[in-house]
């Protein structure tokens, strides 16, 4: 019973391939839906590769490797297990269901068992039906869009060649031969296609430091965003971090029939409602926690739970979008404007249907994207967008609450989307002041240097060096804890602290501001 | 319904104006009866002064108050003098930074002078107190109290004073919310 289902089988070259060959030699009934890809080791198939197949239209993916103890390279079996487990859990959260991905481990002589496994999986996929994911190819930008028009519409011609941007850029300061002034000049000179220029556009952190300094107010991050979209006509972001897993995941979420199961693991003591004038928008933190579990073990989902608890603390029982999708920030900032717009349209529809009047989010990227980028691209939302910090400031200012002070000296890590893009560096500091009993923050210069990455694009040795220098400075100034305002800052800075060459030297406690408030606030 | 409210403080705090706003709001806004007795007494000039407001849904035959149901103290001397007269089950409201209670009786406190300074003018502590009093005791309705504030303050300061009133009202709501949570054992967020 051949069907038009597609199943991708990643098959390890060693043990299980022998079993597979035995099946082929005796013309066994391997389901025709299965497309086999020979790979050197199951442990080398990353989460990004596993998911990429699904993003590109596979209805099921199989990863088959050697049995534990027989891996030629020693650690392949364990790595494959972790990668499939994490990916399956993310698939579950995003509503795809974990059953479409499965790991199998076989010895060379287990051909019969392998055949049964393949047939059973194929039958399961047939029963589940086609995958809801719609493969998306990058649409070429409109023909009228050229580097010249992009430069013109962002007023890059106003550049006076003063170089202030380069002298402030954290990447340049970390020693990378990288200069926003040079990028602007090259693109204006019609050399946008040079590989160095493309690489530079890709490397920019879009942190906005240069824009702060520029005497001609050249909005460099916006210009970079538009250039990435222009380049994307050919190839998606040249070097996305983590193999482009997050971009894949976000693109997959543009499928209308996919129904994410975003909030299934919410603790019982958090009170939410079916309908409420206030809606809480979580963002992608939960996906990150699963993805980085093994390496960094971040606890960014805590930020969302603490936010909900704080809302409850102030007697707000918010509604949630059960099928909440990503806001699209990372797609937009890695050049995939079309799929960003698809996500935006789906979110706008869901938010309108919720009937809520105000949306509160604890993620600065969601906040910025929903309140500023959606309208910029013509998507209007029928509700007010409020950042969690604004809500907290509003409620705390009413009085009757007090705080148990945080111990130790604190360095604050600004979120670029909050402090620079929305000019709100004061807001988190005002909140933090209440927790520190007036003890001044480490360094004090606001806003702080970029956390090291944005939109999972262009992470390299220089951005790493920049992070390390940043953490070292905070430590030298006596900092004992970094308070962050964005889940991603925690992930990127945590990553820099993992430097194996430095052991525990860079380790520092990190806590999100919202969580810190949740920990210390009480009714006076 | 028969409520006797005494507001005390020292001269210059606007205690009498606060009393007048409460009484007027009840009479005109809420269609009740009310009386106001103001006493500067020989102690005025920085000494204690007080306003006695009676609110009732029927005629009031005697406007003086011996044992108030609600006592608002904006100064320590006012507290010292009036506190013993407060009814056993009466409600005590104090200016948090200016009054130190002498016993552990349950009370409501608001740092209205500090709030007033934060709003840019310390002369509005009385209006903040009116907002607080209205929300805590429900002696007058929100709409009536707010409208009376707007009518009673000098033109050009209406907006500022309404802000002050709202500050007191919101602080009261937050205080009541905190009490509800504490009563339910929810003191902190993760407790
Ligand atoms: S700071 Fe502005 S004007 Fe100066 S070189 Fe950079 S982009 Fe040009
Ligand atoms: S946005 Fe940040 S990383 Fe990019 S050029 Fe400007 S300062 Fe450098
Ligand atoms: S800093 Fe670490 S976590 Fe962040 S993008 Fe780079 S490798 Fe990934």
Alpha carbons A251 and A229: distance in angstroms, whole number: 15
* B135-147 per-position pLDDT tens digit: 999 999 999 999 9
Q: What is the DSSP string of A53-85?
A: HHHTT-SEEEEEEPPTT--TTSSHHHHHHHHHH
* A120-159 per-position pLDDT tens digit: 999 999 999 999 999 887 666 666 788 888 888 898 888 8
Range A318-342 average pLDDT: 92
Give the pLDDT band (50/70/90) at residue B24.
very high
Query: How much is the pLDDT for A236?
Result: 46
Q: CB of A184 closer than 6 A to ligand 1?
A: yes
Report the 3 state secondary structure along A300-311: CHHHHHHHHHHH
Q: Do B174 and A521 touch (CB under 8 A)?
A: no
- Considering only A234-248, A289-303, B24-38, which range has the smallest mean pLDDT? A234-248
Query: How much is the pLDDT for A235?
Result: 56
Alpha carbons B76 and B98: distance in angstroms, whole number: 6
Angle at CA of residue A16, ends A126 and A21, nearest 5° = 85
Cis status, amide bond into A355, omega within 30 of 0: no
Predicted confidence (pLDDT) at residue B46 exceeds the cutoff of 80: no
A502 C-alpha to ligand 3 centroid (Å)? 17
Predicted confidence (pLDDT) at residue A402 exceeds the cutoff of 70: yes
Alpha carbons A115 and A110: distance in angstroms, whole number: 9
Task: Give me the sign of the Cα torsion angle A197, A199, A200, A201.
Answer: positive
For A400-523, which CATH class?
A: alpha beta
- Residue nearest atom 1 of ligand 2, based on CA coordinates: A206
Query: How much is the pLDDT for B143?
Result: 95
Task: Say yes or no: B1 contacts chain A, CB-CB below 8 A.
Answer: no
Alpha carbons A494 and A515: distance in angstroms, whole number: 17
Q: A311 vs chain B: nearest CA distance in angstroms?
A: 9
Q: Do B175 and A399 touch (CB under 8 A)?
A: yes
- Residue nearest atom 2 of ligand 1, based on CA coordinates: A214
Alpha carbons A142 and A310: distance in angstroms, whole number: 46
* A4-44 per-position pLDDT tens digit: 899 999 999 999 999 999 999 999 999 999 999 999 999 99
Query: How much is the pLDDT for A1?
Result: 57
Q: CB of A164 closer than 6 A to ligand 1?
A: yes
Query: How much is the pLDDT for B135?
Result: 96
A489 C-beta neighbours (distance < 10 Å), count: 25
Classify burial at A1, counting beta carbons within 10 Å of its beta carbon; exposed 0-12, middle 13-18, buried 19 or more. Answer: exposed
Higher pLDDT, A457 or A327: A327
Query: How much is the pLDDT for A232?
Result: 77
Predicted confidence (pLDDT) at residue A438 exceeds the cutoff of 80: no
Of all residues in chain A, the percent with pLDDT exceeding 90 is 64
Q: CB of A181 closer than 6 A to ligand 1?
A: yes
Residue pair A497/A503 in contact (Cβ under 8 Å)? The answer is no
* A262-291 per-position pLDDT tens digit: 898 889 899 999 999 999 999 999 999 999
Predicted confidence (pLDDT) at residue A330 exceeds the cutoff of 90: yes
Residue pair A316/A275 in contact (Cβ under 8 Å)? The answer is no
Alpha carbons A423 and A302: distance in angstroms, whole number: 26
- Residue nearest atom 6 of ligand 3, based on CA coordinates: A459
Nearest CA in chain B to A516: B189
- Residue nearest atom 3 of ligand 3, based on CA coordinates: A492
CA A311 to chain centre: 25
Give the pLDDT band (50/70/90) at residue A391.
very high
Query: How much is the pLDDT for B49?
Result: 86
Nearest CA in chain B to A522: B188
- Residue nearest atom 7 of ligand 2, based on CA coordinates: A169
Pocket test for ligand 3, best of A242, A489, A510 (most atoms within 8 A of CB): A242
Give the pLDDT band (50/70/90) at residue B169.
very high
Could you tell me where in chain A the CATH 3.40.50 domains are found? 7-128, 250-394, 400-523
For A250-394, which CATH class?
A: alpha beta
Range B9-23 average pLDDT: 91
Produce one character per residue of A86-114: b if its CB has 16 or more CB atoms within 10 Å, e if not: bbbbbbbbbbbeeebbbbbbbbbebbeeb
A30 C-alpha to ligand 3 centroid (Å)? 40
Give the A:B interface size as CB pairs under 8 Å.
50
> Which residues in chain A have their CB less than 8 angstroms from residue B178's CB?
400-401, 523-524
With a Cβ cut-off of 6 Å, ligand 2 is lined by: A 165, 169, 171, 180, 204-210, 220-221
Which of A400, A519, A522 is facing B171, going by the closest CB pair? Answer: A400
Predicted confidence (pLDDT) at residue A174 exceeds the cutoff of 80: yes
Q: Do B173 and A398 touch (CB under 8 A)?
A: yes
Task: Give me the sign of the Cα torsion angle A119, A125, A126, A131.
Answer: negative
> Which residues in chain B have their CB less than 8 angstroms from residue A399's CB?
110, 170-171, 174-175
In the sheet with A60-65, reading across from the earlier edge strand, the strands are A34-39, A7-12, A60-65, A101-105
Classify burial at B138, counting beta carbons within 10 Å of its beta carbon; exposed 0-12, middle 13-18, buried 19 or more. Answer: exposed
Q: What is the mean pLDDT of chain A?
A: 91
B45 C-beta neighbours (distance < 10 Å), count: 10
A517 C-beta neighbours (distance < 10 Å), count: 27
Which superfamily does CATH assign the domain made up of B2-183 to?
A: Pyruvate-ferredoxin oxidoreductase, PFOR, domain III (3.40.920.10)
Considering every ligand atom shown, identify the ligand nearest to the alpha carbon of residue A171 and give its number: 2
Domain boundaries, chain B: 2-183
Predicted confidence (pLDDT) at residue B187 exceeds the cutoff of 50: yes
For A7-128, which CATH class?
A: alpha beta
Q: What are phi and psi of A225, to 5 degrees?
A: -60, -45
Alpha carbons A423 and A218: distance in angstroms, whole number: 16
Q: Do A522 and B188 touch (CB under 8 A)?
A: yes
A212 C-alpha to ligand 1 centroid (Å)? 10
A418: which DSSP letter?
Answer: I
Nearest CA in chain B to A269: B190
Which of A313, A315, A398 is facing B189, going by the closest CB pair? Answer: A313
* A439-493 per-position pLDDT tens digit: 778 865 678 888 888 889 888 888 888 899 889 888 888 888 999 999 999 999 9
Range A352-368 average pLDDT: 96
Atom of ligand 2 nearest to the CA of A221: 1
Residue pair A285/A363 in contact (Cβ under 8 Å)? The answer is yes
Q: Which residues pair with B51 in a beta bridge?
A: B7, B38
Range B76-101 average pLDDT: 93
Atom of ligand 2 nearest to the CA of A450: 2
Predicted confidence (pLDDT) at residue A238 exceeds the cutoff of 70: no
CA A112 to chain centre: 41
Predicted confidence (pLDDT) at residue B98 exceeds the cutoff of 50: yes
The angle that helices B142-152 and B125-137 make with each other, rounded to 10 degrees, is 160
């Amino acid at each position: 019973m051949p069907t038009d289902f597609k199943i991708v089988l990643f098959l390890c070259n060693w043990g299980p391939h022998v079993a597979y060959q035995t099946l082929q030699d005796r013309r066994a009934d391997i389901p025709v839906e299965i497309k086999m890809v020979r790979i050197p080791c199951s442990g080398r198939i990353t989460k990004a590769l596993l998911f990429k197949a699904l993003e590109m239209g596979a209805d099921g993916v199989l990863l088959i490797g050697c049995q534990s103890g027989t891996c030629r390279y020693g650690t392949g079996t364990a790595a494959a297990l972790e990668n499939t487990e994490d990916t399956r859990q993310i698939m579950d959260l995003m509503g795809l269901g974990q059953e479409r991905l499965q790991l199998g481990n076989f010895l060379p002589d287990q051909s019969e068992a392998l055949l049964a496994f393949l047939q059973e999986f194929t039958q399961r996929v047939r029963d589940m039906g086609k995958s809801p994911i719609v493969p998306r190819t990058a649409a070429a930008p409109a023909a009228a869009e050229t580097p010249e028009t992009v430069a013109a519409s962002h007023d890059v011609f106003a550049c006076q060649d003063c170089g202030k941007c380069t002298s402030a850029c954290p990447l340049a300061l970390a020693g990378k031969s990288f200069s926003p002034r040079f990028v602007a000049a090259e693109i204006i000179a019609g050399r946008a296609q040079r590989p160095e220029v493309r690489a530079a556009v890709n490397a920019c952190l879009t942190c906005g430091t240069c824009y702060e300094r520029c005497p001609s107010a050249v909005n460099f991050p916006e210009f970079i965003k538009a250039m990435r979209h222009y380049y994307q006509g050919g190839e998606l972001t040249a070097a996305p971090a983590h193999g482009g897993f997050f971009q894949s995941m976000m693109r997959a979420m543009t499928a209308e029939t996919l129904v994410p199961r975003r909030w299934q693991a919410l603790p019982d003591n958090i009170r939410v409602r079916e309908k409420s004038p206030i809606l809480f928008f979580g963002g992608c933190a939960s996906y990150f926690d699963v993805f980085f579990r093994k390496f960094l073990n971040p606890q960014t989902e805590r930020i969302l739970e603490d936010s909900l608890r704080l809302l409850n603390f102030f007697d707000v029982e918010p509604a949630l979008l059960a099928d909440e999708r990503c806001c699209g920030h990372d797609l937009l900032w890695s050049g995939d404007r079309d799929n960003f717009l698809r996500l935006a349209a789906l979110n706008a529809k869901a938010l309108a249907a919720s009937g809520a009047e105000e949306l509160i989010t604890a993620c600065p990227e969601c906040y910025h994207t929903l309140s500023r980028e959606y309208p910029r691209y013509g998507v209007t939302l029928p509700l007010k967008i409020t950042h969690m910090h604004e809500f907290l400031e509003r409620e705390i200012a009413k009085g009757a609450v007090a705080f148990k002070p945080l111990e130790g000296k604190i360095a604050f890590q600004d979120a670029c989307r909050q402090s620079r893009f929305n000019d709100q560096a004061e807001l988190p500091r005002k909140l933090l002041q209440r927790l520190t009993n007036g003890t001044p923050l480490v360094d004090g210069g606001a806003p702080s240097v970029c956390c090291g990455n944005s939109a999972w694009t262009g992470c390299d040795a220089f951005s790493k060096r920049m992070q390390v220098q940043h953490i070292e400075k905070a430590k030298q100034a006596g900092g004992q804890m970094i308070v962050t305002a964005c889940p991603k800052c925690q992930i990127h800075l945590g990553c820099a602290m993992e430097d194996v060459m430095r052991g525990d030297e860079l380790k520092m406690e990190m806590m999100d501001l919202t969580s810190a408030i949740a920990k210390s606030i009480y009714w006076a | 319904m028969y409520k006797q409210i005494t507001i005390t403080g020292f001269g210059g705090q606007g205690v009498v104006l606060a009393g007048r706003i409460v009484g007027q709001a009840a009479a005109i806004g809420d269609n009740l009866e009310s009386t106001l007795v103001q006493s500067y007494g020989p102690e005025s000039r920085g000494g204690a002064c007080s306003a006695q407001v009676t609110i009732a849904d029927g005629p009031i035959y005697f406007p003086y108050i011996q044992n108030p149901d609600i006592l608002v103290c904006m100064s320590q001397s006012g507290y010292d003098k009036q506190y013993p007269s407060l009814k056993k089950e009466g409600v005590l409201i104090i200016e948090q930074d200016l009054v130190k209670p002498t016993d552990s009786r349950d009370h409501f406190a608001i740092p209205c002078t500090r709030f007033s300074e934060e709003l840019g003018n310390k002369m509005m502590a009385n209006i903040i107190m009116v907002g607080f009093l209205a929300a805590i005791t429900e002696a007058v309705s929100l709409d009536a109290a707010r409208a009376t504030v707007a009518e009673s303050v000098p033109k050009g300061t209406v907006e500022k004073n309404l802000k002050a009133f709202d500050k007191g009202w919101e602080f009261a709501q937050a205080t009541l919310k905190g009490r509800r949570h504490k009563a339910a054992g929810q003191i902190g967020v993760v407790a």
